[in-house]
Amino acid sequence: MASPMRSLSVNPARYLQSFRLFLANSTEHQCMQGFMERQLPAVIASVGNGKSTINILSVGGGAGEIDLLILSKLQARYPGVTINNDVIEPSADQIFKYKERVAETTNLENIKFTWHEETAYEYESRMNAEKKSKKWDFIHMIQMLYYVKDVPATIRYFHSLLEAQGKLLIILVSGSSGWETLWKKFGSSFPLDDLCSYVSSADIKKILDSAGLKYQFHELPSYMDITSCFIEGNEDGELLLDFLTETCEFSKTAPPELKRQVMEELRKPECSEERDGKVLFNNNLSVMVIEP
């Protein structure tokens, strides 16, 4: 009998709902914000030296929360310099939210925003067709490499677009996170489709090393409160389970034995820790800053 399990990506509205719930229940953005406040200034210290215009490419910019923080750090380092900020983002809904956020934010006078409603691969194909290879001073790919078909080729392509002093920043789940444990064990049982694959910083390190690229590596501790996943029939818990397994309606459609094993795994110390009656899933992130 064919499995009734379907990939979460077949239901974009539910995916966004589960993603936003994940952000609300995790320290994902807080830990990224901490990195942007403390470590990003050193990363971007020389990307715009001697330039009257700085070109930034955000690959998978989402709703722009982290993008605007990055831009504020660039403005602080290079006051008054014109910044072109191009955003590649396939979700019209996310672009709409990004534009709303820009409209509500002050001090963006010297920044020109351009949105491209397309995937990274569509952007690359379009540039190649138009025989364009615009160079960028800073490119960032934050939590998006799960959604590309060919990870090494995507990294190679965007790395090739760096200016001589440019930097490519990648943020991804850590090889030491609960995601790694969960997906290495059950990934083959989850209904992934062409739109999504599981990769962690451990995979990216191998790709960068085999390409002989120079990079700095940072680990960011983060967790997600998944307590609600263990409350039968809890709507938030069901959405978070969908997000964890990339499966639409996981708790309703997964075979009972798989569901039992996943729920058991989620409680193990390799995935989560129990603190003050809460189950906190290890959502550690890795940051890689790649030289030209």
Q: Answer whether residue 3 shows pLDDT above 80.
A: no
Whether residue 142 is predicted with pLDDT greater than 50 in this model: the reply is yes
Tokens of 23: 């952000």
| Sign of the CA dihedral with 274 first, then 284, 178, and 182 last | positive
pLDDT single digits (tens) 100-141: 999 999 999 899 999 999 999 999 999 999 988 899 999 999
Q: Does residue 11 fall inside a structural domain? A: yes
Residue listed under structure tokens 């995935």: 271
CA distance 233 to 133: 51
CA dist 137 and 240 (Å) reads 36
- Cβ-based neighbours of 155, under 8 Å, separated by 6 or more: 145, 168, 170, 204, 207, 208, 211, 290
Q: What is the DSSP letter of 208?
A: H
Residues 6 or more apart whose Cβ sits within 8 Å of residue 48:
54, 74, 77, 78, 81, 137
The gap from C-alpha 99 to its chain's centroid, in whole angstroms, comes to 19
Q: Is the pLDDT reported for residue 170 higher than 70?
A: yes
In a domain, 284, yes or no: yes
Structure tokens at 124: 């690359």
283 marked ligand binding residue: yes
pLDDT at 10: 84
The mean pLDDT value for 15-26 works out to 93
CA dihedral in degrees (183, 147, 90, 64; nearest 10)?
60
Is beta strand 162-173 parallel, antiparallel or unpaired with respect to 285-290? Answer: antiparallel
User: pLDDT band at 149, cuts 50/70/90?
Assistant: confident
Look-up of token digits 């380092």? 77
Residue 123 domain-assigned? yes
Sign of CA dihedral 56, 61, 63, 67: negative
2 pLDDT more than 60: no
Contact 271, 263 (CB under 8 A): no
Beta-ladder partners of 140:
58, 169
Half-sphere CA count of 286, side-chain side, radius 13 A: 21
The three-point CA angle 225-194-176 to 5° equals: 35
Residue type present at position 129: A
Domain span at residue 183 reads 6-290
Q: What domain count does the chain have?
A: 1
Domain-located, residue 1: no
Model pLDDT, residue 1: 42
The predicted-structure confidence for 35-92, as pLDDT tens digits, reads as follows: 999 999 999 999 999 999 999 999 999 999 999 999 999 999 999 999 999 999 999 9
pLDDT of residue 9: 82
pTM of the predicted structure, to 2 decimals? 0.89
- The mean of the pLDDT values for the chain is 94
The CATH number of residue 146's host domain is 3.40.50.150
CB 68 within 8 A of CB 101: yes
* Model confidence at 219: pLDDT above 90: yes
In a domain, 79, yes or no: yes
Asked if pLDDT for residue 168 goes beyond 50, the answer is: yes
Whether 14 has a pLDDT exceeding 80, the answer reads yes
Measured over the CA atoms of residue 72, residue 78, residue 82 and residue 84, the dihedral's sign is negative
278 or 12, which is more confident? 278
Specify the range with the lowest mean pLDDT, choosing from 21-25, 143-147, 193-197.
193-197
41 in a domain, yes or no?
yes
